[in-house]
Amino acid sequence: MLDPSPPNPYSGAIMIATDACQYSKLTIPTDISYVGVVGAYVRQVAQNFGFDATACQAVGVGVEETVSNIIREAFAPDDQATLDITCERVSMGLKIVIKDKGLPFKPTGLLSPKRASDAKPLSRPQRALALMKQTVDEVSFHNLGLDGKETHLIKYLQTGTIEDYYQICEIEPYQEPRSDRPVDFEVRPMQSHEAIEVSKCFYKSYGYSFVYRQIYYPGRIVELNEIGQMESVVAVTPDNEVIGHCALLRWDSRPDVAEIGLAVVKPEFRGQGCLTRLTEYLIERGKSEKARALFVLAATNHTYSQQVIHRFGFNDCSLLAGFGPATLSFRGLTETLSQRETYLICFRYPGKPEDVPLFPPEHHKEFIRKLYRNIGLEPRFETPVELEPRFAEPHSKINAAYYSPSGFGWIEIEAYGSDVLEEVKARLKEYCLKHIEVIQLHCSLGDPQTYYMIHEFEQLGFFFIGIKPSSTLGDALILEYFNNVVLDYDRIKVASVMGEELRSYVRKHDPNHE
């Protein structure tokens, strides 16, 4: 991304284990009396991983409440079942996974968003969800169909932010661009000691409004580079001043796909071609590492990043309407956004992609064909033989997460079951109650059920925003839902003919647009 984005499903900075030996598992019966055992186990592991006493206590309480809620909500009192709780060291902290084969997750007791004013005291599931968010840094839910479900919790180790290295007065002042005289600089891989300067670049350009918070922690930048999730390159002047940064970001589930993102240039050095050279360097790195696909998220409050990436053969395939919060501050470009920020997915195949059958819904088929042709691919579209959807399993496999600071959530359908519509409705209801403003739904175009189900999802208020080739689902169709959000599409600035067509098509299908 050439400007900020939240975590999954776009950012490459996903947590993975750094040491396979630092992993443990506890299995308990679904008996509420064992909840204290779980808390003691998690607190001890957290202590072993370097968390302080306050953090150990907090994460223990959060896990205890989570396990207690699962036992009460997913199992009958006389069930003879077990829960697995695993703890694993990941980059920058601790990952806890709670797996069970009880009832699929339903936000029991949650009220419709329209009745929020009539809300009663929080139910037990609501309290558990709230406490999870307060005590850990990331929460996500994964329904695994017949294999049960998992709740993922991640707690970060607190390392120094940029404020621990500099006084804010040292990095706050904004300086005008030095476009009146050229500045010499070289582009090369970042050295570990330069991570502090990278954080400084982001602070000078965005203040603390950048959504991907890890970028303000130099130690975490170093760790992500060491484990290969981020490959940082910097622009450096002859006197060793870091004036810009960009990175290749990789997904655990798709190591052959890379995002070019986390790009920044110090405000006083804009206009020097720095972003162009950083991007060029990383494209060559991606080619040399045989990446099968590259993509960029380009901001639309200005067209500069779009113009840069289009010159390198990246083309638009999706309009992520309202994807970023309005609190973003693009210093020197757009100090205050008038609405939530929209991004374009700009995509490029370095080589010939695999030819696979796709099943787009009939009413979007021709526009989807146009999007594929725009990224240089003639798609192979097919129509399912059946006249209506047929589900092989009763339970769907669904991954979902949300990020409160940006007001963004996402739902990913890994496999359709007969309960898919009910599951999506439940997750949508939960997110609306949490005041998540923008909710994306990702559906596999390679699954015949997508052909039938898109219309059903649109009846819930979701609308088409584009495609995402080479996603964690393979080629995906993306829908979006606005929770009390109205966009002025005329404020979305695009630099290409396809960008104009995409903006018009999305606006036409947005049920919130007058």
The pLDDT value given to residue 376:
92
Task: Quote the pLDDT of residue 104.
Answer: 72
Domain termination residue (choose one: 348, 376, 403): 348
Question: How many residues make up the chain in this entry?
Answer: 514
In terms of domains, do 35 and 120 share one?
yes
pLDDT at 120: 53
| Cα–Cα dist 82/21, whole Å | 24
| Longest CA span, the chain | 77
Residue closest to 146 by CA, chosen among 395, 439, 498: 395
Q: What is the pLDDT of residue 336?
A: 64
* pLDDT for res 301: 87
Same domain, 317 and 369: no
Strand duo 293-299 + 149-156: pairing? unpaired
501 near 511, Cβ under 8 Å?
Answer: no
- State the DSSP string of 306-351: HHHHHHTT-EEEEEEEEEE-TT--BTTTBSS-SS-EEEEEEEE-SS
The boundaries of the domain holding residue 496 are 357-509
> What 3-state class would DSSP assign to 302?
coil
Residue 139: helix, strand or coil by DSSP?
strand
Report the distance separating Cα 439 and Cα 424, nearest Å. 11
Q: Quick one: pLDDT at residue 372?
A: 96
**Phi first, then psi: what are they for 202, rounded to 5°?**
-65, -40
* Strand partners for 341: 324
150 and 167, same domain (yes or no): no
In a domain, 7, yes or no: no
How far, in Å, CA of 72 to CA of 68, rounded? 6
pLDDT of residue 288: 83
**Residues 493, 301: contact at Cβ < 8 Å?**
yes
CA nearest 328: which of 295, 347, 296, 300?
300
Whether residue 261 is found in the same domain as residue 325: yes
CATH number, domain of 380, equals: 3.40.630.30
Whether residues 415 and 500 fall in one domain: yes
Q: What is the count of structural domains for the chain?
A: 3
* 28 and 131, same domain (yes or no): yes
Q: Is residue 14 part of a domain?
A: no
Residues 306 and 386 in one domain: no
- In a shared domain, residues 311 and 175: yes
Q: Which of 348, 379, 412 is the last residue of a domain?
A: 348
- The CATH number of whichever domain residue 143 belongs to comes to 3.30.565.10
Question: 106-138 burial string, b = 16+ CB within 10 Å, else e?
Answer: bbeebbebeeeeeeeeebebbebbebbbebbeb
Domain-located, residue 18: no
Q: What share of the chain is helix, strand, coil (3-state, %, to 5)?
A: 35, 25, 40
Are 435 and 316 found together in one domain? no
Q: What is the pLDDT of residue 118?
A: 45
pLDDT for the residue numbered 5: 38
Last residue of a domain, one of 129, 156, 183: 156
pLDDT per residue rounded down to tens, the chain (514 residues):
443 334 445 543 333 334 445 889 999 999 999 999 999 999 999 998 888 888 899 999 989 988 998 998 889 888 889 999 999 988 678 999 999 998 876 544 333 334 344 445 555 555 655 666 677 888 888 888 888 999 999 888 877 776 666 665 566 655 555 556 788 999 999 999 999 999 988 888 888 778 787 888 888 899 889 888 899 999 999 999 999 999 999 876 677 899 999 999 988 888 889 999 999 999 999 888 888 899 999 989 889 889 989 999 999 999 999 998 877 665 555 556 789 999 999 999 887 777 889 999 999 999 999 999 999 999 999 999 888 888 989 999 999 988 877 889 999 999 999 999 999 999 999 899 889 999 999 999 999 999 999 999 999 999 999 999 999 899 999 999 999 999 999 999 999 999 999 999 999 999 987 6
Whether residue 175 is found in the same domain as residue 290: yes
Question: Which residue's structure tokens are 């050439």?
Answer: 2
Together in a domain, 280 and 418 = no
In a domain, 329, yes or no: yes
Q: Dihedral angle at the C-alpha atoms of 378, 414, 260, 165, nearest 10 degrees?
A: 170
> Are residues 193 and 115 located together in one domain of the fold?
no
